[in-house]
A and B are shown apart, each in its own frame.
Chain A
Amino acid sequence: MPLMTPTIGSQLVDLGSALLLLTCFGIVAQRRLSACVDLFALQSVFLALTATLVAFLTGIHHIYIAAALTIVIKAIVIPRILKKVIERLNVSRELVMHINVPASLLICGVLVMIAFLITQPIIPFGHLLTRDSLAIALAIVLIGFFTMIARQKAVTQMIAFLVMENGLFLGATAATYGMPLVVELGVFFDVLVAALIAGIYTNRLQDAFDSVDTAHLSELKE
């Protein structure tokens, strides 16, 4: 590329990935649900920027489409759905936490290290431009996974799932410059439908339990 040398390009991609990881920590540390949604939207914007950067540097056009879809679906549509759900439910904070914020952050730090450890043997095979992002992508997936376990509100669980998806998308962009377009479109469709379904669920759960605290979901036991 004439405009940017590969080193600067790869450093910028690394910067984008690092910002994504940073927002992950923000989501883990944040108790206010609407702030969590904002952070998720911000993360999606970072993701789209990183993807655009990769598309620009490599000249692969279909990544632009994926980046545009990320902005529309993950930074605009899904946050709106989640905000509506929060508004209707009148819950603004995550009150009871299985694991408190400092401990959560510490665990997430460990998860990042684990992610780098796991991907160590396979990183050298990647493209020069984006290879460090694979480790960060795995770290984001693991943090999303952890948040899912550690938080109780249905909305937070949904955000955690979406964070995992963001991590996967970063992984796909970083490691392979995106998946085949059909697959990427399918994944976007699935994520959007999942978010809609979760929205419907929270309404019904609210009607049935007067709460969306998943701790109330304990009637089914052995």
Chain B
Amino acid sequence: MSDLPTTIAVSLLLLAPLVAGGLSLLLTGSRWLHVANLTSIGTLVAAEVMIARSVLEQGSLTAFGEIVYIDALSSVILFIIGTVGLACSLYMRSYMDEQVARGVIAPKRLNLFFFLFHMFLLTMVVATVANSLGVQWVAIEATTLTTTFLIAFWRRRESLEAGWKYLILCSVGISLALFGVVLMYYSSLRVLGDVSSALNITQLQQVASQLDPHILKLAFVFLFVGYGTKVGLVPMHSWLPDAYTEAPAPVAAMLAGVLETVAVYAILRCRGIVDQAVPPAFTGELFAVFGLVSFALAAFFILLQHNYKRLFAYSSIEHMGLAMVGFGIGGPIGNFGGLFHLVNHALAKSLAFFAAGNIHRRFKTVEITEVHGLTTVLPWSALALLIAGLALAALPPFALFASELQIITALGSSGLPGEWTQPGTRFPIVVLLFCSLVAFGGLLYHITSMVWGVAPKDIVPGEQWSVGHVPIILLGTVLVGFCWALPPPLQQLFEAAATLLISR
């Protein structure tokens, strides 16, 4: 069901990072590496726009004989991958070059960095567009393998530790998800009988209501815990703060903004199938409980942080938790709020890590107490940090305020799913509001202390304009803009995706 232009767009989507990854190993000189990188990511974004348009006009599409399946939900995720990827690529132009110039890394290692970066992009795109749940699993495990060396890229003791922890914890989590996939296949084989396509989403969706609920329940628990490790839900989150602190800033932005989102997407995909055979309250309850616990615990951890990168890491756990609550409540508002929150969080968190990267390079420390007077030392980064911080604290006029409000509205109107809360209980809302207040206080307290004050004497003030500032300004503008008005095509896309998520 795909015409020629979409087939070309899908091939470009997959080929761009693959070719650029291959070129990264061959090219010499940072200039050409960046050219290859930006060309590839530009192609990726263009292909995504074409695909999104076709999805809006004609609904879901398949390509290459049902190997690729794209609907509105995958288009939203592709949109996030493209946007954050583009922002990171622009930022890397100045960030990586400075690291080479300062002699932190040998110029040769830049090739490895870009190779891994492209493979990371490729695996995420494959995970998003794969029709088979099995292929999706393979791609998500591959994201672990490609990112672990990116996290350990500086090769310090701490970064090696963070990379190893990430590799082991995520691989184990993902193995559990594979058991879930096997069970899913087990249940679908009994209905479909066809060996090769019984894991395809297109096939599963048609027969979902006939699948056995016992097997599906067990499968979903394994899938949820497995991919939930990758999302960083409490209590499977312990790799996350270390990885975000040690990874180079653009990598941290990609991990926080995109990788988590892709993992959430994998869970949502499976949920769409499970919900048709099992009462939706079952999956909704898992989403809501894990989401709420992650949200609440992370909010308190934000208060305790003394390292600004860890601060943002815990804020990631918090916002992912909130998005999960939104998906758990379900319905048009809950699902839309959850999706919109994923997008906004991706944008705000990349902005935060770009600012953090700039600060780290100048101050050479990640301690909050040793960073003061950013307004005089790095005025642009100070502004970026302030915008990111206020946005992550969900203040108006930033987009996260809009999405958080939607989730809280959904919670107020329909309450948490499942039997353990009576209809009309205010308890979850009170918890949610209180914890967001705690997170708000924690973020603002830490960030204001960094932005204002007197700068340490040994730090050279002044910020030179670079390419790295372009994505900072763009992201800041978009974050404010999305609060007031979503561009109509995006609005339609999000609404179409939210409709897909509503369980029948």
* Interface residues in chain A, defined as those with a beta carbon under 8 Å from any beta carbon in chain B: 60, 118-119, 121-122, 125-126, 134, 138, 141, 144-145, 148, 154, 157, 161, 164-165, 168, 171-172, 175-177, 179-183, 186-187, 189-190, 193-194, 197-198, 201, 204-205, 208-209, 214, 217, 219-220, 222
Contacts and interface: CB of A to CB of B under 8 A. Distances in A.
Given A171-B182, A172-B185, A220-B245, 5 more contacts: A122-B186, A141-B176, A171-B179, A182-B134, A220-B162
Given A126-B186, A168-B182, A182-B132, A187 B167 contact: no
18 contacts: A118-B218, A122-B186, A122-B215, A125-B190, A126-B186, A138-B179, A144-B175, A176-B189, A179-B181, A183-B138, A187-B141, A190-B138, A190-B145, A194-B145, A197-B148, A197-B167, A201-B164, A219-B161
B490 interface: no
A186 B164 contact: no
Contacts of B326: none
B158 interface: yes
B163 interface: yes
Given A126-B186, A161-B175, A208-B160, A180 B195 contact: yes
B341 to A, nearest CB: 26
Interface string B136-151: 0111011001001100
Interface in B197-237: 197-199, 212, 214-215, 218
A171 B181 CA distance: 11
Contacts of A148: 168, 172
A141 B179 contact: yes
Contacts of A118: 218
Contacts of A186: 134-135, 137-139
Interface string B302-323: 0010000000000000000000
A125 B161 contact: no
A205 B161 CA distance: 8
A183 B198 CA distance: 12
A139 B195 CA distance: 26
B212 A125 contact: yes
A217 B138 contact: no
Contacts of B178: 168, 187
B128 to A, nearest CB: 16
B464 interface: no
Contacts of B212: 122, 125
Given A168-B182, A220-B161, A121 B214 contact: yes
B168 A157 contact: yes
A187 B187 CA distance: 20
Given A141-B179, A175-B186, A161 B218 contact: no
Given A122-B212, A219-B157, A220-B245, A179 B182 contact: yes
Contacts of A209: 157
Nearest to A190: B141
Nearest to A178: B195
A180 B160 contact: no
Interface string B282-318: 0000000000000000000100100000000000000
Contacts of A182: 132, 134-135
Contacts of B137: 183, 186-187
B53 interface: no
B214 A205 contact: no
A179 B199 contact: yes
B345 to A, nearest CB: 23
B186 A190 contact: no
Q: Max chain B CB contacts within 10 Å: which of A144, A189, A219?
A: A219
Contacts of B139: 186
Given A122-B215, A125-B215, A176 B172 contact: no
A186 B126 CA distance: 12
A171 to B, nearest CB: 5
B236 to A, nearest CB: 12
Nearest to A183: B134
A187 B186 contact: no
Given A161-B175, A182-B134, A187-B138, A204 B160 contact: yes
B482 to A, nearest CB: 33
B160 A201 contact: yes
Given A157-B168, A183-B199, A190-B145, A141 B175 contact: yes
A167 B158 CA distance: 32
- Minimum-distance CB pairs A-B, first 7: A183-B134, A186-B138, A175-B186, A217-B161, A220-B242, A190-B141, A208-B157
A219 B135 contact: no
A176 B175 contact: no
A88 B475 CA distance: 48
Given A176-B186, A179-B185, A180-B134, A168 B214 contact: no
Given A176-B182, A190-B142, A214 B164 contact: yes
Contacts of B185: 172, 175-176, 179
B425 to A, nearest CB: 32
B160 A205 contact: yes
Contacts of B182: 168, 171-172, 175-176, 179
Contact of A183 (B135, B156, B215): B135
A200 to B, nearest CB: 8
Interface in B166-194: 167-168, 171-172, 175-176, 178-179, 181-183, 185-187, 189-190
Contacts of B108: none
A55 to B, nearest CB: 13
A141 B173 CA distance: 11
A205 B160 CA distance: 7
A58 B155 CA distance: 50
Contacts of A172: 182, 185
Nearest to B157: A208
Contacts of B187: 125
A214 B197 CA distance: 42
B164 A217 contact: yes
